[in-house]
Amino acid sequence: MYAQNKSHPLDWLRQNLQSVVVQDDDSVLSYMMTKTYTFYDDNFVVKTVKDFYNDTGLNSAPAFSKVWYKDIFTENDSAIRHDIKTDSPIGSVHVYTLWAERVYGIIGKEEAPLTYWQTFDEPMGLHLYLSSDKAFSVKAINQLYQLATLMGAKEMTQDLKEDIDFLKD
């Protein structure tokens, strides 16, 4: 059952989901990637930093993705079980694709006005890297869906579901 107000899921996310680190040992471009999550009252931001430790000249400014809770497409519980488990030398993570009406992105500074953020102004997926603990990851996604529902989000349209299924094939 979804919470009656947004404080419970928002507090849970703020307390339990701060950052995830993944290591990719690709033989050509090895890197450590840190995803840091910040949950605001109306939206959340994912900061992505890649550290190409074998070739630091490839390192660049952090990338930020922003999603308003009201833009998240809510799904039934079975949809959030379709994650990808990724193993790395420092541990494994579950990667979920969260779909939203709009995903905003910027390179550099999160504090930039929204007019500087880029969006394709169409439904997009955002990969969320979450704990290797499946139950924790499912709870985190459920908390996001609760916030989305409370903020007036809608369920994914059948057309969009078909488009996403096509992309998976």
Instruction: Tell me the pTM.
Output: 0.87
Would you list the domain boundaries of the chain?
Answer: 7-168
112-134 mean pLDDT: 89
The 10s digit of each residue's pLDDT in 70-82 is: 999 887 544 455 5
Give the model confidence (pLDDT) of 33-67 as tens digits. 999 999 999 999 999 999 999 899 999 999 999 99
Residue type, 124: M
**pLDDT grade for 154, boundaries at 50, 70 and 90:** confident
Please work out, in degrees rounded to the nearest 5, the angle formed at the alpha carbon of residue 45 by the alpha carbons of 86 and 89.
20
Contact 104, 113 (CB under 8 A): no
pLDDT digits (tens, 9 = 90+) for 136-145: 888 998 899 9
Query: What is the Cα–Cα distance from 14 to 94, expressed in whole angstroms?
Result: 19
CB 68 within 8 A of CB 43: yes
